[in-house]
Structure 1
Amino acid sequence: MKKIIILIGIVFFVTSCSSNRFVDSWRNKEVLTFKPNKLLVIGMTDNVTARRVFEEELRREFVIRNINAVESTNVLDIEFTKSKKSENEIDEMIKTISKAGFDAVVISTVKGVEKRRSYYDNYNTLGYRWARFGRYYYWYQDIYFKPHYYDVYKIYHVETSIYYINEQDNKSLVWVGALDLVNPQTINETINKYVSKVIKQLENEKLIPKD
């Protein structure tokens, strides 16, 4: 049941990132290729626009690779993701989408958000060679007196998972990938970069065909 709860734990990052990096991935070795009959792409967020953009972009990439995918906004009620659901409600949802022909789900979830701080100015590696304390103090006092000397930014730790929803436990989880989205700014750019990273990793691991 925990796997099903994770299925619903989708989040959506509402901004884009200036950079992103793939952290890690895990693939179920018992699943040789990912060939669902009908794949549901779910995004859970209060931002309906962001949800639609994400689902449409990821669906498009799967369809290009001859995988029948459908956005959850065309299947699930928009209100479904706005409140916490019981296990019974989740089970009923899964039964409903199974009857509609879906046998797999792809989900993305933000596992955590981390704040970090960096310098606006480049770090001077020659600092340790300065012989006079006065020069050292003069140079680095800006840390205290420049209001924007530090740049505080956020890193979104995002996880995407693929499940077969009608398989036994040893074959239900197909793949999990973790990415870091750094310093988000705009919706469309973040989604495009994120989806591209996920699709490329799935191709590299030979779970889906290249376009």
Structure 2
Amino acid sequence: MKRIALFIGILLFSACSSTRFVDSWKNQEITSFEPKKMLVIGMTDNLTARKIFEEKLKNAFVLRNIYAVESTGIIDGTFTTSKKSEEEIDEMIKKLAKQGFDTVVITSVKGVDERVDYHTEYYPSIGYRWSRFGRYYYWYQDIYYAPQYYNSYKVYNVETVIYNINEDDTKSLIWVGALNLVDPQTITSTINDYVDKIIKQLEREKLIKEL
């Protein structure tokens, strides 16, 4: 649960942020994707990040004529305060189905990588063609003396998964998309970038219509 709580935008960083698409998987048995009622879930205990993310992704689906709803108004807050058994989760899914939901889009952080970059301004333009060891050592000795030589940052491995929760349909897993959030700065800008990447990929794979 603690790892999941590291969802989009919880920490602020000073370096430039970006969202990078990594990979996706689509159920090839799915010939058409026409959800009647979709639930959007952001798995985090940061209520602000969750609300902003769910609203942004929901609005993106609504713009494409997909009836989507944020989970913050559907799943009781007490449900997320403790770890649930598979039976309890199945019971929640049944309740969602009774409310007319047939599709769930859920996003969570799968892990966090620590990365280190070298600042490019320390590298001379003449490249790696050195004639003398002394010259090489002269250019790169800042590794020892300049704390700015290294730039440490974090990469959040985030996954969005689409499920069909209709009991009459055995093709439950529809789509999985993996993205990396590189040094996120603010909640809003990071979420906007992430949602944009997810929607565009779903359009490319013909799961949703382009505007």
Q: Give TM-score scaled by structure 2 length.
A: 0.89
Q: Which residue of 2 aligns with 1:110?
A: 109
Contact 1:40 1:70 in 2 (8 A): yes
Partners in 2 of 1:30 and 1:169 — Cα distance?
11
Distance 1:29 1:168, change over 3 A: farther
Tell whether 2:71 aligns with 1:72. yes
What SS does the aligned partner of 1:108 have?
Answer: strand
Partners in 2 of 1:161 and 1:10 — Cα distance?
17
Partners in 2 of 1:57 and 1:28 — Cα distance?
25
Structure 2 residue runs of 5 or longer lacking an equivalent are none
What SS does the aligned partner of 1:171 have?
Answer: coil
Give a deviation string over 1:13-59, Cα, whole Å, max 9, x none. 22587112211111111112221111000112111000000000000
Q: Which residue of 1 aligns with 2:160?
A: 160
What SS does the aligned partner of 1:26 have?
Answer: strand
* Aligned AA (1:12): F
Partners in 2 of 1:86 and 1:138 — Cα distance?
61
Alignment of 1:35-54 (within 5 A): 35-54=34-53
Question: How far off its partner does 1:80 sit?
Answer: 2.1
Question: How far off its partner does 1:170 sit?
Answer: 4.7
* Identical-residue share of aligned pairs (%): 64
Question: How far off its partner does 1:168 sit?
Answer: 6.1
Q: Which residue of 2 aligns with 1:63?
A: 62
Partners in 2 of 1:10 and 1:60 — Cα distance?
23
Question: How far off its partner does 1:155 sit?
Answer: 1.0
Contact 1:33 1:208 in 2 (8 A): no
Contact 2:5 2:45 in 1 (8 A): no
Contact 1:39 1:102 in 2 (8 A): yes
Partners in 1 of 2:72 and 2:128 — Cα distance?
58
Q: Which residue of 1 aligns with 2:28?
A: 29
Distance 1:168 1:24, change over 3 A: farther
Partners in 1 of 2:97 and 2:174 — Cα distance?
17
Aligned length: 203
Q: Give TM-score scaled by structure 1 length.
A: 0.89
Question: How far off its partner does 1:167 sit?
Answer: 4.4
Question: How far off its partner does 1:115 sit?
Answer: 0.8
Structure 1 residue runs of 5 or longer lacking an equivalent are 1-8
Question: How far off its partner does 1:81 sit?
Answer: 2.3
Q: CA RMSD in A?
A: 2.0
* Aligned AA (2:118): Y
Partners in 2 of 1:83 and 1:198 — Cα distance?
29
